[in-house]
Structure 1
Amino acid sequence: MRILSIQSAVAYGHVGNSAAVFPLQRIGVEVMPVYTVNFSNHTGYGAWRGPLIDPSDVAAVLTGIEERGVFPSVDVVLSGYQGGTGIGDVIIDAVRRVKEANPDAIYSCDPVMGNANSGCFVAPEIPVLLRDRVVPVADLITPNQFELGYLTGTEPVSLDETLDSVDAARAMGPSTVLVTSVLDAAESEGVIGMMAVDDEGAWLVRTPLIPMKVNGSGDVTAALFTAHYRRTGSAAEALERTASSVFDLIQATFDAGSRELLLVESQEFFAHPRLQFTAQRLR
């Protein structure tokens, strides 16, 4: 499998491509990372250095890859955090060209906007761009519950409401939706869910809630689910593998008291997930 991953990059820590590439490689996926920013560290620190990469430069890198005759072998285009509005057009155009070269390729979009605790942490125009232009051309999207609500104009707080919001998101274009950080108002505290819905049905995995928010975990989740789903065609299996790997990654990071994901130290969790969680069919 070959994935063209168009995301941010940092020198210190693990977010964007700096979070997604290594886990994908560890499960045997060939990744071509294309950077949209090249920062010293993620912006959660409040200070960082390095450039937003001009959309024309991102487009030039993509054209160079295309000129090597690689696009017919691309199985997935994956995108995440978009630093500016111009990059959306570049990604959409890259998806079009990849699909022309390989009609079986899919586009997986992680519509990064924010979370329930922090609210939106991207520029105000980014959520609109994602909702109106990027998500409609995606085959698979991986929002958290907060982002799903923004995309669909809803505020899901229960499993049924989340399923209804997923149906609304799928009506926008994507056939498959993974929802992360699913909290159910009727559920006991200390539990968090991950939901996957496609044409075959809907599944939920519940895991213990680890009391920390670590940057980059969503990027790892989107990458692993995308690869597992593309490889197996089973949303339930992809969900179980992804939830197992990401839970153990976050638990190891929490136990170490680290602010940054222990990505390298946790590599066996990607290659050989324990499969300690079972997907429950919802419908």
Structure 2
Amino acid sequence: MKILSIQSAVAYGHVGNSAAVFPLQRIGVEVLPVYTVNFSNHTGYGAWRGPLISPDDVREVITGIEERGVLPGIDVVLSGYQGGEGIAEVILDAVARVKAANPAAVYACDPVMGNAKSGCFVAAAIPILLRDRVVPAADIITPNQFELGFLTETEPADLESTLASADLARAMGPSTVLVTSVERPERPEGTIEMLAVTDEGAWIVQTPHIPMKANGSGDVTAALFTAHYRASGDAADALARTTSSVWDLLSLTHASGERELQLVEAQESYAHPRMQFAVEQVR
């Protein structure tokens, strides 16, 4: 499998491609990383250095890849955080080029815009651009519950309303929705869930909640789920594998006391997930 991953990159820490590439490689996926920024560290520190790469330069890199004749072999285009408005058109153009070369390829979009605690943390135009232009072109999207609500102009809360919101999102274009952090009021205290919804059904998985902010964990989640689902076509299995790997990554990071994901240290959890959490079909 080959994935063209168009995301940010940092020298220190693990977000964007700096979070997604290694876990994908560890499960045997060939990744072609294209960077949208090249920062010293993620912006959560409040200070960083390095360039925001212009949309024209990002497009040039993709054109160079195309000139090597590799687009017919690309199975997935993956995108995440979009720092500026111009990058969306570059990504959509890349998706169109890849699908023209390989009609079986899919586009997986992590529509990063914010969360319930902090609200939107991207430029004001980005959520609207994601909703109106990018998400309708995607085959797979991986929003959290807050982002799902914005995309569908709903307020998903319990399981029923979250399923309904996921169906509205699927009606926009994507056939598969992974809701990466479901916090329904009826769940047991101290737990958190992920929900996958496809044409074939819907599945939920529950884990203990690890009390930490983990920049980059959503990037790992989107990458692993997309790769597993693309490989097997089995959303329940992809959900189980992804949940196992990401929970072990977060658990190891929390135990370390470090702020940054212990991405390399947790590598066995990607290659050999323990499958320790039961996936329940809910539709």
- TM-score interval, smaller chain: over 0.9
Aligned-partner Cα distance in 1 for 2:93–2:27: 28
Is it true that 1:17 corresponds to 2:2 in the alignment?
no
How far apart, CA to CA, are the structure 2 residues paired with 1:43 and 1:128?
22
Pick which of 259-268 and 180-189 moved more.
180-189
Distance 2:188 2:28 in 1: 37
TM-score, with normalisation over the residues of structure 1?
Answer: 0.99
Q: Which residue of the partner structure matches residue 161 of structure 2?
A: 161
Name the structure 1 match of 2:278. 278
- Give yes or no for the alignment of 1:130 onto 2:120: no
1:124-178 CA distances to partner (integer Å, 9 max, x unpaired)?
A: 0000110000000000000011100110001111111100000000000000000
Q: 1:66 aligns to what?
A: 66
TM-score using structure 2 length: 0.99
Tell me, in whole angstroms, the C-alpha distance in 2 between the residues paired with 1:83 and 1:130: 12
The Cα of 1:115 is off from its aligned counterpart by 1.0
The Cα shift of 1:187 comes to: 1.6
Secondary structure class of the residue paired with 1:15: coil
Moved more, 234-243 or 150-159: 150-159
Which residue is equivalent to 1:247? 247
**Equivalent runs, 1:1-283 vs 2, <5 Å:** 1-283=1-283
Distance in 1 of aligned mates of 2:195 and 2:213:
19
Structure 1 residue 26: Cα displacement? 0.1
Q: Deviations over 1:89-119 (max 9, x none)?
A: 0000000010000000000000000111111
* C-alpha distance in structure 2 between counterparts of 1:70 and 1:138, whole Å: 21
Q: What SS does structure 2 have at the residue aligned with 1:280? A: strand
Q: Distance in 1 between matches of 2:245 and 2:97?
A: 32
Deviations 1:253-278 (A, max 9, x none): 00011100000000000000000011
| CA deviation string 1:215-249 (max 9, x = no partner) | 00000000000000000000000000000000000
Write out the 4+ residue segments of structure 1 that deviate beyond 2 Å after TM superposition: none
Q: Which runs of 5+ in 1 are unaligned?
A: none
Distance (Å, rounded) in 1 between the aligned partners of 2:219 and 2:211: 19
- Give me the whole-angstrom Cα distance separating, in 2, the residues matched to 1:150 and 1:47: 28
Structure 2 Cα separation of the partners of residues 126 and 277 of structure 1 = 35
Name the amino acid aligned to 1:188. P
Identity of aligned residues (%): 75
**Secondary structure class of the residue paired with 1:237:** helix
Q: Alpha-carbon deviations, 1:5-63, whole Å to 9, x = none? A: 00000000000000000000000000000000111100000111111100000000000
1:78 offset after TM fit, Å? 0.1
